[in-house]
Amino acid sequence: MSQLSPANEPLLKRYPGNPIIHRNATPTSNSIMNSSVIRFGEGYRGVFRVDNQCRDMTLHTGRSDDGLAWEIEPDPIRWHCAKPEIAAFEYGYDPRIVHLDGRYYVTWCHGYHGPAIGLGVTDDFERFELLEIILPPCNRNAVLFPRRINGEYVMLHRPSDMGHTPYGDIYLCHSPDLIHWGRHRFVMGRRGGWESTKIGAGPVPIETPEGWVLIYHGVLTSCNGYNYFAGAAILDLDEPWKVLHRSRRYILAPTELYECVGDTPNVVFPVAAVHDAATDELRVYYGAADTCIGLATTTLAELVQFVKDNA
Ligand code: BMA
């Protein structure tokens, strides 16, 4: 448990049963982290980053009735792909899922001569189709908006390099068909403190009357390497490259044992957010220490207020 006083806790409150998914949730997993979940019917489904005991980075599906207790498929997703030249899966990691035009689209970092962005789709979380490589290397953290904006699909992304990328800002691009992307805009860059080295989009942006709420990760470089934090900003509804508010304070920092001890110490990496419109509860799912998955909550109203108060 944290030694900090309640008044000194960050905005997001950890679920007391954390981590909700442990590193050994499949028979051959080394670690399960940086994964995406979404409401599906009466329950939840997810696409999970599972690093196996050969240390291959693979994508698996999983299911849950309550979003807390998860069953992760032991075998990686077998992607159907009509295009043999892109069908080989060198690796896949950091997936995001969005419900868009009635289907479930998945974006992830796709190994294709370097870290590229893959786009896939499913309707039932049983059959998955790999549609295209939508951004070439080197890129990571591609996140689709959940609806068209002014008639076009919109996606956040983070240009990067072949390695662990000691820089990184968030950009946005547009598409008429989800396949061809252009009309690039700068959204926001790294700045001081917890986000001084690089930033990258986290969960799918959440639409509110105040703007799109964007939860993202920020990284600082310490004497022991990268430390990952979660932060939040609000983007303009019609021109989402315009940042209306951005919190100087993080909303979650790596302070618990399972966030500080693991394959990569000192990491909280938010990837999915599930909002309950009836209660306003916002559940944020995050990878912890590149080893397991944690859950933290707030309300959307509190998050919006926090971002404005700490801008
Ligand atoms: C992600 C991935 C991981 C990395 C992590 C921190 O973008 O690249 O392999 O360690 O950031 O959780």
Q: What would the pLDDT profile of 144-191 be if each residue is shown by its tens digit?
A: 999 999 999 999 999 999 999 999 999 999 999 999 999 999 999 999
pLDDT band at 120 (very low <50, low <70, confident <90, very high): very high
For residue 51 and ligand 1, the question of a CB distance below 6 A is answered with no
CB-based burial of residue 271 (10 Å sphere; 0-12 exposed, 13-18 middle, 19+ buried)?
Answer: buried
Q: What is the homologous superfamily of the domain 18-309 according to CATH?
A: Glycosyl hydrolase domain; family 43 (2.115.10.20)
Tell me whether residue 299 is exposed, middle or buried, using C-beta atoms within 10 angstroms of its C-beta: 0 to 12, 13 to 18, 19 or more. Answer: middle
Report the alpha-carbon angle 303-22-65, nearest 5: 65
- Taking the centre of ligand 1 as the mean of its atom positions, its distance from the CA of residue 93, in whole angstroms, is 8
Burial class of 226 by CB neighbour count within 10 A (0 to 12, 13 to 18, 19+): middle
* Ligand 1 pocket mutation pick from 30, 32, 34, 48 by most atoms within 8 angstroms of CB: 34
**How confident is the model over 34-82, as pLDDT tens digits?**
999 999 999 999 999 999 999 999 999 999 999 999 999 999 999 999 9
The whole-number average pLDDT for the span 178-205 is 98
pLDDT of residue 163: 93
* pTM score: 0.96
pLDDT at 5: 52
Give residue 8's pLDDT.
Answer: 77
What pLDDT, on the 0 to 100 scale, is given for residue 1? 38
Q: Which residue minimizes the CA distance to atom 5 of ligand 1?
A: 290
Of 269, 271, 286, 292, the residue with max ligand 1 atoms within 8 A of its CB, to mutate for a pocket test, comes to 269
Question: Which atom from ligand 1 is nearest to the alpha carbon of 267?
Answer: 12
Residue with tokens 């999970």: 48
Say how far apart CA 101 and CA 159 lie, in whole Å.
Answer: 27
Boundaries of every domain in the chain: 18-309
Say if ligand 1 is within 6 A of residue 265 CB. Answer: no
Give the model's pLDDT for residue 239.
Answer: 98
Q: Is 269 in the pocket of ligand 1 (CB under 6 A)?
A: yes
